Amino acid sequence: MKILVCISKTPDTTSKIAFTNGNTKFDEAGVTWIINPYDEWYSLVRAIEIKEKDPSTVIHLVTVGASDCEPIIRKALALGGDEAFRINADSSDSFYIAAQIAELAKQNNYDLIFTGKEAIDYNSSAIGGMIAELVDMPYISLATQFDLNANTASVTREIEGGEEVAEINLPLVVSCQKGMAEQRIPNMRGIMAARTKPLKVVEPAAIEALTSIINFELPPAKAGCKMVAADNVPELIRLLHEEAKAF
């Protein structure tokens, strides 16, 4: 079994979101970078669990980004990846990123490609579907559970108004969310081992981005919270009904 886990570097969930250069660039000052939680907690850990059950499994990691991605790649290796690829390019365009990963995937014949359900910076939920199309594999999105029986996967996925269980043969691309696995913390042995695991830097393929970010905006500041006294609940309901027209 050969699994590719796609990881993305994102600002920590508590980061202050601000922009510089006339609102064209994310302000990185004071930002702690983490592995996108969906990539780490759900897809990478599930891949590691598959390897724990079948030790012949090989887990490759890939990220598209500059050299400042390397700490998060080392952390992913410490959690349990075998080998990592950093495609040396920086882009906010989903197609560009997916096409770079698809190029790597085409060379390595993966049985499974895992992504997080979305990255917490651009929230597009697009990379998995695009990779699947570019490598011509089936795609199961928003998976909450994943089981393997030889070459057949049984995947529970979120659908409109509920969940369904799909059976499908590998190879396959899956986007992972809560339920797939539980967050882990790398242990000392993993951290030591990660130092010597291969991290290959790959130059990007010639691919054109299809979109570009013009600028960013912060939402308008809230007018402030209107406080109602605890002994005046009817006033709250009146405000919600008459002023906010919420019901």
Q: Cβ closer to another protein: 187 or 232? A: 232
Q: Which residues face 143 on adjacent strands?
A: 157, 176
Shortest separation between residue 182's beta carbon and another protein, angstroms: 10
Shortest separation between residue 138's beta carbon and another protein, angstroms: 5
Rg (CA), the chain: 21
Q: Cβ closer to another protein: 13 or 107? A: 13
Q: Cβ closer to another protein: 88 or 124? A: 124
CA distances from 181 to 45, 70, 73 (A): 6, 24, 19
What is the C-alpha separation between 82 and 85, in angstroms, rounded? Answer: 11
Shortest separation between residue 161's beta carbon and another protein, angstroms: 4
Shortest separation between residue 163's beta carbon and another protein, angstroms: 5
Q: Which two tokens stand for residue 195?
A: 């130092």
Q: Which two tokens stand for residue 77?
A: 């290796």
Torsion, Cα 85 129 90 194, to 10 degrees, reads -30
Q: Cβ closer to another protein: 169 or 187? A: 169
